[in-house]
A = this chain, B = another copy of it.
Amino acid sequence: MPIALADADAPAPLPPTRAAVSARTIRVGLLGLGHVGQAVARLAPDAGRLAERGLRVRIVGALVRNVDQRRRCVRPPRLTSNPAAFLRGHYDVVVEALGTIEPARAIVARLLGRGVPVVTANKALVAAHGADLARLATRRGTSFRYEASALAGVPFLGALAARPLVADVRQFSAVVNGTSNFILSTLETTRCAFDDALAEAQALGLTESDPSRDLDGHDAADKLQLLASVFGWGTASPAADDVRGIRGLTAADLHVARHLGARIKPIVHGRRTGRGFEAFVGPAVVAAEHQLAALHGTLTGIQLTGRFIPDLFFSGPGAGPDVTAATILDDVVETMTTVPAAAGPRRPPLPTVPVISPATRWFIRADFPGITPDADAVRAACAAHNLTVTHVTDAIDRSRWLCTAPAPAAQVTQALAALHATHRIQARSLRAL
């Protein structure tokens, strides 16, 4: 880890930062100058809307791993790879865009502890430590904002965090990973191979250098945890069997789904229950009429069913450095133009709760090497392994699609493993939303 906090780093007392607002210049420190950090630095002087409101955002310092790397933005005055040197700067707001949990957590906690407001788009950080950091910010009379961390371009988290009645959410379904949605949309529209769609996403700067967090559902699982925390459900992660990614899906799968009057979307779903909540992350078959089915490309969205407000829906762009940077700058402005009340709402620590694998219907693409068995044989084989098949399609490209009765993930996984052992059936299972 090239960036670490030296123990000897004596935090120099910062001058009161709110005073700077009267000068209408907001001094921003940037943690990280990767894709997102550079986009923030490029957008800040360009955002004419800020000037209309009499505001100016100036990037006064940045902490990076390598000061000599070439970047697509103006070099900030105080550019350093030394966290202690960065922390000696005077900032009205610090934007955290490091992307990993450490050292981001340690530096953000240090800043909030001194009363410096922090804005981040780092979902892994917010998922793992967001509740603690928000409480620390409240204690120190400052703020911790993370609007871009769930749906990059869609402002809704801040509203839900500040508004207890609309945040009394009973159930939600969402497309939170714009990169996965882009890849599935590209597969569907161009009928290309998975790797080609991935390469296109990478060329557009939609993925990180290691795309596995997007493709294997880990990014979406972080956002599930973050949402469950904002809704006050508790802290928990679904079991590994309920965090699935989009790898292995083909253009043919997407077209079969369309033929069935549905779409395949990368879904995160949660439902509050008596003791904890049900949740899953993974590609799912969604009816064509569902609002999530209409989200193409990098669009992301969330449908919420609440106690007081039923049937809310928010959608918009969910990936890309420029959109993320715009949301971050709006967080910076909101930070500087509203102050948390001294006695803000109490936020009790969230309990750790059990996460249950929900029983949903499943669609299973089953390949039978060499043969095309009849529907009754498939049904009987599944029934022998405790899986009720309600519908079997005609053979499509030597595969059949099976639709099951509601079952949790483990039951389907076990049944498919047994069917592979006994009948050499290769299967890919997708939940139905």
Residues of A within 8 A of B (CB): 18, 21-22, 24, 43, 47, 49-50, 52-55, 153-156, 158-160, 162-168, 232, 289, 291, 294, 299, 301, 307-317, 322-323, 326-327, 329-331, 333-334, 336-348
Residues of B within 8 A of A47 (CB): 164-165, 308
B156, A330: Cβ atoms closer than 8 Å: no
B53, A345: Cβ atoms closer than 8 Å: yes
Q: Copy number in this complex?
A: 2
Question: Which of A24, A164, A338 counts the most chain B CB atoms within 10 A?
Answer: A164
Give A317 to B333 CA distance when docked, in angstroms.
29
Residues of B within 8 A of A312 (CB): 153-154, 315-316
Top 7 A-B residue pairs of the complex, sorted by shortest distance between their CB atoms = A163-B330, A54-B346, A308-B326, A53-B345, A312-B316, A49-B164, A155-B159
Give A15 to B286 CA distance when docked, in angstroms.
56
Residue of B nearest to A338 (CB): B338
A345, B308: Cβ atoms closer than 8 Å: no
B166, A327: Cβ atoms closer than 8 Å: yes
Give A163 to B153 CA distance when docked, in angstroms.
12
Give A120 to B346 CA distance when docked, in angstroms.
25
> What distance in Å separates the Cβ of A235 from its nearest Cβ neighbour in chain B?
16
Residues of B within 8 A of A342 (CB): 18, 21-22
Give A24 to B21 CA distance when docked, in angstroms.
29
Residues of B within 8 A of A337 (CB): 162, 340-341, 344-345
> What distance in Å separates the Cβ of A137 from its nearest Cβ neighbour in chain B?
13
Residues of B within 8 A of A299 (CB): 311
Give A322 to B308 CA distance when docked, in angstroms.
8
Give A348 to B53 CA distance when docked, in angstroms.
8
Give A330 to B47 CA distance when docked, in angstroms.
31
Q: Could you pull out 10 A-B pairs where Cβ atoms are within 8 angstroms?
A: A154-B309, A165-B333, A166-B326, A289-B294, A291-B291, A301-B313, A309-B323, A314-B314, A337-B345, A338-B339
Residue of B nearest to A143 (CB): B338
> What distance in Å separates the Cβ of A170 from its nearest Cβ neighbour in chain B?
12
A348, B21: Cβ atoms closer than 8 Å: no
B165, A346: Cβ atoms closer than 8 Å: no
Give A165 to B154 CA distance when docked, in angstroms.
12
Give A225 to B286 CA distance when docked, in angstroms.
37
A334, B163: Cβ atoms closer than 8 Å: yes
A334, B162: Cβ atoms closer than 8 Å: yes
Besides A21-B341, A24-B343, A313-B316, 18 other CB < 8 A contacts? A18-B341, A21-B343, A47-B164, A49-B307, A50-B165, A52-B348, A55-B345, A155-B166, A164-B330, A291-B294, A299-B311, A309-B316, A309-B323, A310-B317, A313-B314, A337-B344, A337-B345, A338-B341
Residues of B within 8 A of A315 (CB): 291, 311-313
Residues of B within 8 A of A323 (CB): 308-309
Give A164 to B307 CA distance when docked, in angstroms.
31
Give A22 to B346 CA distance when docked, in angstroms.
11
With A322-B308, A337-B344, A341-B21 as known contacts, state yes or no: A167 contacts B313, CB within 8 Å. Answer: no
